[in-house]
Structures are given as C-alpha cells and as structure tokens.
Structure 1
Amino acid sequence: MDHKTTLTQHINAPAESVWAVVTDIPGSAATLSGIDSIQMLTDGPYGVGTRWKETRTMMGRPETVEMGVAQCEAPVRSRAGSTTVTARQGGAGYTSRFAVVDRDGGTDLTLTFGAELITPSRLGRIMLTVFGPLGMRITRKALAKDMAEIAAKAESL
C-alpha cells in the first residue's frame, strides 16, 4: 500500500533558476523554513549519487532522514528537466520527483511525493490505513509551503 500526492506551482522565473534552487541542497535550509539542517554526505555538484541528511521538525519532533539523488536530468534550452530523490526511514520508502517545465514565460514546477511500506507488517499496514491519510495531509501542507518558498527564491534570482 502506498500513498502519493502531486503539487504544481507556476513560478515567474526561467527553468534554469528554478532548477538552481531545487538542486541547491547545501542552501536548502536557508531557502526552506521547514528544514532545520542539512549535512552533505557527498562532495561535488548535484547529480545521481549525491547524498545528504536532512532534518525537519514534523509534528513537533525533529526527524533526520538520509536522502539521495536517484535520477537527474537538468533542463536545457526549452527541454524539461526532472530529478528524483529517494529516502528510507524505518520500514518506509519515500520518493520525491521534481519536474521543471517552461510555460507561459515562466516555469511549472511539479512535485510528486510518494510513501510506501517496504517491509509491511500486519500492524504497519493497519497503522498506514488508519493514519496514512492524516500523514499525507500534513506532508502535503509542508510540501506546498516548500514549493511556495522555492518559487519565492527562484523569482528573486
């Protein structure tokens, strides 16, 4: 059983500026108010294999998750770009896919977030059924705030 949500934000900035904000992992704690801290685990430019630990406070508790880039295709000229970030915590796997597309003199940024149980126990399946929708509403609200802050940063570049 998995849960998924998709959000799209139109940003009045070129795709390259939006891409620069999305892929600036070291600077993301300064851009996104929901992130408490970032600890880079790899060196070099953003790309497949880039890894970091991200700490966010969710429901009043700090949570640190190790994340990594599984797919990356930067936008070039009017070609769309996308990147996929994966994470695992406990028995759950998380996937965040950002797509950047030129539209109407700006950029559409679409985020698709998914969560699934990797090693589902009977209790885990019950908990996901009962609390999963609430967790996804909380997550969607946090992601919408992230998208607005990404837009604000990209529009200021």
Structure 2
Amino acid sequence: MTSQSVEIAAPPEAVWSVIADIHNAANVISGIKEIQVLEEPTGPGIVGLKWKETREWMGKDAVEVMWITDASDPSFYETRAESHGCIYQSRLQLEPGQAGTRLAMTFDCQPETFGARVMWFLTGWMAKKAVGKMIAQDLNDLKVAIERSTSP
C-alpha cells in the first residue's frame, strides 16, 4: 500500500468539489490524458460513477476502467479497478484543519492471478516507486488547482 498527503489552503467543501468532479479530472491532473465517463451514478452522490481513464504510465498510455465504490461528501471516496490480474483500490480522504484541508490518497494493488503474483514479485518495487511519484504529482496538481480557484 502506498499513501501520501498534502495540505491545501481551502475548506473541505472546496476540495471535495474538485476531487469529486471526475468529468473534469483531465483538466486538473496533469498525468491524466483523457476521461470517458461510462456510467453515471444511479442515486444521489458519486457512488457508482464509472469511467475510463487514460494516463501515461512508465512511458506508455495506460487505460483503466475505474468506479467509485463508496463515498461520503465531503469526507472521502474510494475507487476500484480490475486489470491485468490485479484489483486496484484507492481512497481519497479529506481531514479539515485550522489552515484548510489535509488531502490524503492511498493506493493498494492486490494481485489475484498466478501471473500477476509473479509479475508483482519481480517488478512490484518498481511499480510502488512509480505509483508514489504519480500520487505525489496528482496531489500537487489538485492543491494548485484548488488553491488557485479559492484565492481572492
């Protein structure tokens, strides 16, 4: 599991409005090349939103289908993707503070097939490092966009 956080000089509601706007994520997060929404939520909130995300991963375009499995506005949301014999889960968590909001992201990869377990054993260290860099960049992009939109 990989986890990182960033302090954002904005209230949780302002942070939530940006991180929950998956439709606009490619305009905020530099690593995302394209978002294609596949399914809108059937009820209130964002649970059930499903999309195809294209981003650069280790020098190549990687396309993953992701969906929101759980959420509590404006506290957190969790996503899931299943690809290449693995289950990927992430969580964005907001914690209010005196100077704004702490936004934390955790990411976990669970290899499910024999082939995925072998690949994870051989290259997992490299993937963890790349994921850590990706999370740090995503969080920084979010911080910049949110603070820019909330500054007077």
**Structures share fold, TM-score greater than 0.5:** yes
1:26 aligns to what SS in structure 2? helix
Give how far 1:126 is off: 2.8
Residue 95 of structure 2 is aligned to residue 98 of structure 1: no
Question: Counterparts in 2 of 1:136-147, with a 5 A limit?
Answer: 136-147=128-139
Please give the per-residue CA displacement for 1:12-71, whole angstroms capped at 9, x wherever unaligned: 111111111111111100101100100001236751111000001111111110000000
Distance in 1 between residues matched to 2:40 and 2:67, nearest whole Å: 12
Residue 63 of structure 2 is aligned to residue 64 of structure 1: yes
Structure 1 segments of 4 or more deviating over 6 A?
Answer: none
Please give the per-residue CA displacement for 1:105-141, whole angstroms capped at 9, x wherever unaligned: 200001110011122x1x4323211210111101110
Distance in 1 between residues matched to 2:17 and 2:39, nearest whole Å: 18
Distance in 1 between residues matched to 2:21 and 2:46, nearest whole Å: 11
1:48 aligns to what SS in structure 2? coil
Residue in 1 aligned with 2:103? 109
Distance in 2 between residues matched to 1:145 and 1:118, nearest whole Å: 28
Paired letter, 1:54: E
Quote the RMSD (CA, aligned, Å).
1.3
Count of residues in correspondence between the two structures: 147
Identity, % of aligned positions = 32
Structure 1: 5+ residue stretches without partners:
76-80
Structure 2: 5+ residue stretches without partners:
none
Residue in 2 aligned with 1:53? 52
Q: 1:13 aligns with which of 4, 10, 14?
A: 10
2:23 aligns to what SS in structure 1? coil
Paired letter, 2:90: S
2:88 aligns to what SS in structure 1? strand
Distance in 1 between residues matched to 2:40 and 2:23, nearest whole Å: 11
1:7 aligns to what SS in structure 2? strand
